[in-house]
């Protein structure tokens, strides 16, 4: 396919989840990803599980990127965790503001992801390749599209190397975002985040929470299938494969799959792209 791939996982909470993720990773490794990333819970609540999964991925011979969120964190704590990640052999981070756990208040010494990026660069130089998030359909908490774009620019100028988008199903939103970024003189890679469609209820819930738009025609089709899981998955594979084909034709520098710790859909989409 000659298109860099990466896969995102979340830290499992049970022994069964750990075993299932190990099996899923082995299937996805066959696609020779550039790296695999592991998410980081609100306020760093999963940091132990995150770093544990990262350590396993490294031991399996793959490049691992640890998500790293800063909201609610102190500089001392971040400094300690950066040192730990360097000791583990991690060379890639996904730097995020992140969310506070409910009832946590507003503590911490970082307010924005750009603060974290600047701190990592000041503390560690070029020890890490830093990815940041971006939102082709605008961050749900942004004051305006212009403010959201400016916040992204600030993260890049603070020292980020590249960006990974929130998932989307309208390729025009991605291409428009990249055009806007290029007009501001930034030329770093903007990798497209891809969410396979395997469960419509889960997808609707995630999308409402993160501000990702599900086009009306997709939403109505998914609703029409009701509890017919096979039809939902078949439709989802067609829709997301077509999206990836359009992104590839438009010159996307890479695809980052939000796997939800499953392999089947991502493997099949990539198989179709190779066909």
268 labelled catalytic: no
**CA distances from residue 176 to 65, 166, 179 in whole angstroms, order as listed:** 27, 14, 5
Question: 131 — alpha (psi -120 to 50), left (phi > 0) or beta?
Answer: beta
Q: Tokens 């992140």 identify what position?
A: 98
CA distance 132 to 135: 10
* Rounded alpha-carbon distances, angstroms, from residue 263 to 7, 54, 240, 249: 10, 18, 15, 24
Show the beta-strand stretches assigned E in the chain.
5-9, 35-38, 64-69, 92-96, 129-134, 162-165, 190-194, 255-258
**What does DSSP assign to residue 40?**
-
Residue 102: helix, strand or coil by DSSP? coil
Alpha carbon separation from 46 to 74, 152, 275 (Å, rounded): 16, 25, 38
d(CA 241, CA 24): 20
Q: So which residues are the catalytic ones? A: 8
């Amino acid at each position: 396919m000659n298109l860099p791939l990466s896969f995102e996982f979340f830290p499992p909470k049970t022994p069964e989840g750990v075993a299932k993720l190990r099996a899923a990773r082995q299937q996805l490794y066959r696609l020779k990803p550039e790296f695999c990333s592991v998410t980081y819970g609100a306020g760093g609540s999963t940091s132990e599980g995150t770093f544990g999964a990262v350590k396993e991925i490294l031991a399996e011979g793959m490049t691992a990127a640890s998500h790293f969120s800063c909201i609610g964190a102190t500089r001392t704590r971040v400094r300690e965790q950066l040192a730990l990640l360097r000791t583990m052999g991690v060379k890639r981070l996904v730097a995020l503001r992140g969310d506070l756990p409910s009832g946590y208040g507003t503590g911490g010494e970082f307010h924005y992801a750009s603060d974290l990026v600047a701190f990592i660069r000041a503390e560690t130089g070029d020890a890490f390749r830093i990815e940041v998030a971006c939102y082709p359909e605008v961050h749900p908490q942004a004051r305006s599209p212009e403010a959201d774009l400016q916040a992204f620019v600030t993260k890049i100028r603070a020292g980020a190397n590249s960006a990974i988008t929130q998932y989307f199903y309208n390729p025009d939103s991605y291409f428009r975002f990249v055009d806007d970024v290029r007009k501001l003189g930034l030329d770093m890679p903007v990798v497209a985040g891809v969410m396979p469609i395997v469960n419509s209820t889960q997808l609707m819930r995630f999308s409402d929470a993160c501000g990702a738009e599900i086009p009306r025609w997709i939403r109505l089709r998914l609703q029409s299938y009701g509890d017919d899981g096979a039809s939902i998955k078949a439709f989802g594979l067609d829709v997301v494969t077509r999206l990836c084909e359009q992104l590839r034709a438009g010159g996307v520098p890479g695809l980052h799959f939000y796997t939800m710790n499953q392999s089947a859909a991502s493997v099949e989409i990539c198989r179709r792209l190779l066909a």
